[in-house]
Chains A and B, each alone.
Chain A
């Protein structure tokens, strides 16, 4: 063992650099650029992390399909209302309870409202409440979960106690009081309220994940590299659960939409707006199912399912993009 080469001498040890292995490595190097560098034929420089993620993202069918569906629905909700000449979706359209036709694409309700107009306007409100509610809840959940899980000890106990308190607050009762006193009833306020009350379970889940990740040696190694707490959380721990975090947002997003529709149902929703939830509830309220008016409740139902479902599919794809171990399977 004393016959080791002195430090600084080129690699003699790696047994794998024997001639045949080098040959194989060279072969592999020749193969790789075809995928990464296209027709240039030059050996590709290693992709930067961002470029690499993009490289795998645009080749992942699940991600593309999921995001495609969401984008189409989002664009419909965003720009659809402008294309309908600003008609009031709740106005009388001229005929009552007619099935889908060239005149009324999705038919009309018992009260003569055009279901397609309601659907397009409703999509917008639904996205808005989902993004605001889910977004606020996700941000709070991440801050609380990460900090409690990473710091542990007293910080964790205090934050967990706070989380548990919010968890058991009867949000419906609070909303009744808030409504009665403030009287503010708009979609953004509804989203804000949902966001402020629906984060606890997500915070607990993120805290648990962080707890298990912070004991890994790479966290210690980052500390030895001079990284501070929040840098470690966002650069070391969060990337390990990025698809989990995205899934949390999707669940909160879908949850916010569903909570919003139930709030709409008991009369705590936006007073004169329209959302997919409101549509479902009024279809149920006016016995659309019993009357065979499937066109009243199918579009909003399919809409909600499509948005949340497409996000789920996209999440599975994202998992494959972010996790290098899943890429090679």
Chain B
């Protein structure tokens, strides 16, 4: 289980690092094995920064990240258990090497003793698992493959790691066609069946709700609402979540503004801290974030 506890990231910006920008602000949630958690947020909400922090690619300023109760120390051993897939498949492959080099890197680092023939069998197995034909994709350069094929190869790469527990999938479908998109999502569902915990980062509400057991809605680096998916979207308590739901286009229905929230659940309950547990496994933040901060 990967647990985030009040994780915060502040970037220094401006001339001589004069000002700061808080990209992720006291975010807490957890991803367990065998579940898909959707991290939903608009551009600039800090969701990718959060994904990069979990992967150890960006340092955490405050708060703690733990894997099965132990503090996260990014490095070879950590990456054996936690892996990531990124948004742009074209940028994930080194253009001067063949695409299957990503598998060779995994072999060098984590399975050095496996014989070349065994490894080839395993790679072909993983490539079939993501529903690609090994003969078509292996031995090709990245520019000879399509975005969907590359994205699947990246998923296949993660499958080659024994003992993988958590997969961070950052906007992995945003570069894909609608038809391939749902295929890739189903692949994530299959990974869940294998006992992986998947953190699915997206800005697309409809895709986000498709798989996930729980959903975290992020805005301006803060969690606005989180909990079981059916609770968050069945009974949205935060105006931003309602707004998101209202913004999903539906055939034959005119656009309408979200129903206003009569009162701020958070303050009505007199809650303290970051989030108020409105019902079991359904947390909501103050409705007037961030203006209400500190009052």
Using a CB–CB cutoff of 8 Å, the interface residues on chain A facing chain B are 1, 4-14, 16-17, 25, 46, 49, 216-218, 220-227, 236, 239-240, 242, 322-325
Contact of B143 among A239, A240, A324 (CB under 8 A): A324
What B residues does A4 contact at CB under 8 A?
183, 186
Q: Is B174 in contact with chain A by the CB < 8 A criterion?
A: no
CB within 8 Å for A239 and B57 given contacts A11-B133, A216-B91, A225-B79:
no
A269 to B192 alpha-carbon distance, docked (Å)? 72
Q: Is B72 in contact with chain A by the CB < 8 A criterion?
A: no
Binary contact track B172-192/A, C-beta < 8 Å → 1, others 0:
000000000011001000100
- Measured CB to CB, the closest approach of chain B to A108, in angstroms, equals 52
Q: Can you list 27 contacts pairing A with B, beta carbon distance less than 8 Å?
A: A5-B131, A7-B194, A8-B128, A11-B131, A11-B133, A12-B131, A16-B133, A49-B98, A217-B91, A218-B92, A218-B93, A220-B52, A220-B55, A220-B57, A221-B154, A222-B105, A225-B79, A225-B105, A225-B109, A226-B79, A227-B109, A236-B94, A239-B94, A239-B97, A240-B94, A240-B95, A324-B141
What A residues does B83 contact at CB under 8 A?
224
Please tell me if the beta carbons of B109 and A10 are within 8 angstroms of each other in the complex: no
Contact of A324 among B96, B131, B132, B154 (CB under 8 A): B96
- The 4 nearest A-B residue pairs measured at CB: A226-B76, A226-B109, A13-B131, A225-B105
What A residues does B79 contact at CB under 8 A?
223-226
Q: Is B129 in contact with chain A by the CB < 8 A criterion?
A: yes
Q: Is B139 in contact with chain A by the CB < 8 A criterion?
A: yes
- Measured CB to CB, the closest approach of chain A to B110, in angstroms, equals 7
Please tell me if the beta carbons of A239 and B96 are within 8 angstroms of each other in the complex: yes
A221 to B151 alpha-carbon distance, docked (Å)? 13
What A residues does B98 contact at CB under 8 A?
46, 49
Contact of A221 among B52, B92, B132, B186 (CB under 8 A): B92
What B residues does A25 contact at CB under 8 A?
135-136
Binary contact track B73-85/A, C-beta < 8 Å → 1, others 0:
0011001000110
Q: Is B106 in contact with chain A by the CB < 8 A criterion?
A: yes
Q: Is B88 in contact with chain A by the CB < 8 A criterion?
A: yes
Please tell me if the beta carbons of B86 and A324 are within 8 angstroms of each other in the complex: no
Nearest CB in chain B to that of A46: its residue: B139
A229 to B86 alpha-carbon distance, docked (Å)? 20
Please tell me if the beta carbons of B102 and A11 are within 8 angstroms of each other in the complex: no
Contact of A8 among B56, B129, B136 (CB under 8 A): B129
Please tell me if the beta carbons of A14 and B91 are within 8 angstroms of each other in the complex: no
Please tell me if the beta carbons of B133 and A1 are within 8 angstroms of each other in the complex: no
What A residues does B57 contact at CB under 8 A?
220, 223-224
A16 to B135 alpha-carbon distance, docked (Å)? 12
Please tell me if the beta carbons of B132 and A14 are within 8 angstroms of each other in the complex: yes
- Measured CB to CB, the closest approach of chain B to A107, in angstroms, equals 49
What B residues does A323 contact at CB under 8 A?
96
Give me 8 other A-B pairs in contact (C-beta within 8 A), A220-B84, A225-B108, A226-B75 excluded. Answer: A11-B132, A11-B133, A46-B139, A217-B86, A218-B94, A220-B55, A224-B55, A239-B97
- Measured CB to CB, the closest approach of chain A to B237, in angstroms, equals 31
A217 to B92 alpha-carbon distance, docked (Å)? 5
Please tell me if the beta carbons of B105 and A217 are within 8 angstroms of each other in the complex: no
Please tell me if the beta carbons of A1 and B131 are within 8 angstroms of each other in the complex: no
Please tell me if the beta carbons of B182 and A1 are within 8 angstroms of each other in the complex: yes
Nearest CB in chain B to that of A324: its residue: B141
A14 to B179 alpha-carbon distance, docked (Å)? 12
Nearest CB in chain A to that of B96: its residue: A239
Nearest CB in chain B to that of A322: its residue: B96
What B residues does A7 contact at CB under 8 A?
129, 190, 193-194
Those of B87-136 within 8 Å (CB) of chain A: 87-88, 91-98, 102, 105-106, 108-110, 125, 128-129, 131-133, 135-136
A222 to B109 alpha-carbon distance, docked (Å)? 10
Max chain B C-beta neighbours (<10 A), residue from A11, A216, A325: A11
What A residues does B129 contact at CB under 8 A?
7-8
